[in-house]
Amino acid sequence: MRRVCFLLKVRADRLDEYRAQHRAVWPEMLDALTAAGWRNYSLFLREDGLLVGYLETEDFEAARAAMAATGVNTRWQTRMAPFFEALDGAPDASMVPLAEVFHLD
């Protein structure tokens, strides 16, 4: 299992709305993430908009590709894109994994 951590930046004026969106993630989106192999997926949001994402998966690129192939992901990413600063494409395409330097097993 690979652990993946990434950073994104939520616009400061959209923090409350971003939180509200994630209190009501569509059931079909949750099902698609699970089917695509996203495990233990968490998002953490700092007050300045720094978003830290964490997930576990066998193969991150395969898991991301499986999500990209779903219509629900396309709709979700389109809906979420305006919340972010400095994206290089859709939010999920901008998830650049950080290098893991330590893990307490």
Sequence spans of domains, the chain: 2-94
Q: Looking at residues 18-45, what average pLDDT do you find? A: 96
Q: Per-residue b/e over 72-97, b at no fewer than 16 CB within 10 Å?
A: bbeebbeebeebbeebeebbbebbee
Catalytic residue among 22, 39, 46, 75: 22
Q: How far apart are CA 31 and CA 12, in angstroms?
A: 29
Residue-level pLDDT at 95: 85
Q: Looking at residues 32-50, what average pLDDT do you find? A: 97
Annotated active-site residue 103? The verdict is no
Mean pLDDT, the chain, rounded, equals 93
What's the pTM value of the predicted model, to 2 decimals? 0.90
Residue-level pLDDT at 99: 95
For 14, the 3-state DSSP assignment is helix
The hierarchical CATH code for the domain 2-94 is: 3.30.70.100
pLDDT exceeds 90 at position 94: no
